[in-house]
């Protein structure tokens, strides 16, 4: 008989709830048991309207408030590495640590969402809670992307918080990222008669020279400084140890500030490599932090945390594409994500719940 997980009890504190979420194995593609439990728990809350698409749930208040805030988090994890079920330890100085797959990335953030959903029935802003699947795998499977395509109205809001782990810091927006192949061509020949050929790998030297001399731009947006980066991340070429190669490609990654669109970023890269064939292979937009929005300013004041830019790409970009400014804020430590030793500080989880509650009830 298939084991049935217990119903989620949202009356326990966020740290204990994190442990119970960790005990629901929910590797990407296998989220259904946890999604079912979250849906049941949300439908028991009379102040929320709950909708579901696949293994993604959206729950909303409808109190007629002047602003709507979205709290979002993914419920899937990377594959388990002998780190389920959860366990608790205590350090020599009395700090309690909760260990287990997803504890940092990002079931602690999801636990905070669920606690707010259960215990703040009349928030000062209308709330939308988004719990989605398949964040840790290919972008085309991402549950938030699916919701944006099928049910854009479900994600409407004035401001969003993605509860990915930030160690309790507020990280505004995110960088955009794109990858291109900068290609060279030549003519094959036997290496014993190299003068009969034209070495495509040698033609890549000016590409690397341009990268080594490239000066990255820094730009201030809403008081945050985003530093861009243009770097070679792979080089391909050659056929055999005795053949002059007729093709070579350098893969270049451009991490760009969110004041550039994807089109502007690609145009810049093409300008840097003028004269070469530049083939776009992957692109994702950045996200503006939107910290000047009143809801964002109130959030930063309430959580009392340091504010910095997000170096890297997160799903806040999906909200930005919908016209919803967003930040990253969560109790997990991103350096521990996807590791066998993944854990989260109990005090960090409780503090995140307390700060969000203060923001939404002030």
Output the pLDDT for position 1.
33
pLDDT classification of 121: cutoffs 50, 70, 90: very high
User: Whole-angstrom Cα distance, residue 249 to residue 193?
Assistant: 23
Section 80-108 average pLDDT? 96
| pLDDT above 80: residue 305 | no
Cβ(168)–Cβ(348) below 8 Å: yes
Average pLDDT rounded to a whole number, residues 270-299: 90
Half-sphere exposure of 244 (CA within 13 A, CB side): 18
Side-chain half-sphere exposure of 14, counting CA atoms within 13 A: 33
Catalytic site residues? Answer: 76, 135
Q: How far apart, in whole angstroms, are the C-alpha atoms of residue 334 and residue 105?
A: 7
Residue of 299 and 180 predicted with greater confidence = 180
Q: Tokens standing for 331?
A: 């109790």
Percentages helix, strand, coil for the chain (3-state, rounded to 5) are 30, 30, 40
**Is the pLDDT confidence value at 290 over 90?**
no
Helix (H, G, I), strand (E, B) or coil at 168: coil
Q: Supply the DSSP symbol for 100.
A: S
317: pLDDT strictly greater than 80: yes
Centre a 10 Å sphere on the Cβ of residue 94 and count the other Cβ atoms it contains. Answer: 7
pLDDT exceeds cutoff 90 at 6: no
Handedness of CA 345, 350, 351, 356 (dihedral sign): positive
Mean pLDDT computed over 310-330: 90
DSSP string, 215-282: ---EEEETTEEEE-EEEEEEEEE-S-TTEE-SEEEEEEEEEE-TTS-HHHHHHHHHHHTTTSEEEEEE
How far out from the chain centre does Cα 106 lie? 10
The model's pLDDT over 23-75, given as tens digits with 9 standing for 90+, comes to: 999 999 999 999 999 999 999 999 999 999 999 999 999 999 999 999 999 99
Mean pLDDT across the chain: 94
Q: Domains (ranges, CATH) in the chain?
A: 14-174+287-361 (3.40.630.10), 181-284 (3.30.70.360)
By mean pLDDT, which of 15-29, 270-284, 297-311 is the weakest? 297-311
What per-residue confidence (pLDDT) applies to 2?
Answer: 42
The predicted model scores a pTM of 0.85
pLDDT in tens, 180-237: 999 999 999 999 999 999 999 999 999 999 999 999 999 999 889 999 999 999 999 9
Query: Band of the pLDDT at 3, cuts 50, 70, 90?
Result: very low
């Amino acid at each position: 008989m298939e084991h049935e997980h217990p119903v989620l009890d949202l009356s326990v504190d966020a740290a204990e709830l994190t442990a119970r979420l960790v005990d629901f194995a929910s590797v990407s593609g296998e989220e259904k048991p946890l999604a079912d439990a979250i849906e049941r728990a949300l439908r028991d809350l009379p102040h929320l309207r709950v909708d579901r698409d696949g293994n993604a749930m959206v729950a909303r208040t409808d109190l007629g408030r002047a602003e709507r805030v979205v709290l979002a988090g993914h419920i899937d994890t990377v594959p388990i590495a002998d780190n389920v079920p959860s366990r608790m330890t205590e350090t020599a100085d009395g700090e309690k640590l909760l260990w287990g797959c997803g504890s940092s990335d990002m079931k602690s953030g999801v636990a905070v969402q669920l606690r707010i959903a259960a215990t703040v029935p009349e928030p000062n802003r209308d709330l939308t809670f988004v719990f989605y699947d398949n964040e840790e795998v290919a972008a085309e499977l991402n549950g938030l992307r699916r919701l944006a395509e099928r049910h854009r109205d479900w994600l409407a809001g004035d401001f969003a918080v993605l509860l990915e782990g930030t160690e309790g810091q507020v990280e505004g927006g995110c960088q955009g990222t794109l990858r291109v192949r900068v290609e060279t061509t030549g003519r094959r020949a036997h290496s014993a008669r190299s003068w009969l050929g034209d070495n495509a790998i040698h033609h890549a030297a000016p590409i690397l020279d341009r990268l080594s001399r490239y000066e990255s731009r820094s730009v201030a947006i809403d008081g945050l400084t985003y530093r861009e980066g243009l770097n070679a991340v792979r080089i391909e070429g050659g056929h055999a140890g005795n053949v002059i190669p007729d093709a070579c490609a350098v893969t270049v990654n451009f991490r760009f500030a969110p004041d550039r669109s994807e089109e502007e970023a690609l145009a810049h890269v093409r300008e840097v490599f003028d004269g070469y064939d530049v083939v776009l292979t992957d692109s994702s937009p950045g996200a503006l932090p939107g910290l000047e929005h009143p809801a964002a300013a109130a959030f930063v004041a309430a959580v009392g945390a340091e504010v910095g830019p997000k170096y890297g790409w997160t799903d806040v970009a999906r909200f930005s594409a919908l016209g919803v400014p967003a930040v990253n804020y969560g109790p997990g430590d991103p350096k521990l994500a996807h590791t066998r030793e993944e854990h989260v500080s109990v005090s960090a989880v409780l503090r995140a719940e307390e700060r969000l509650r203060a923001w939404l009830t002030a």
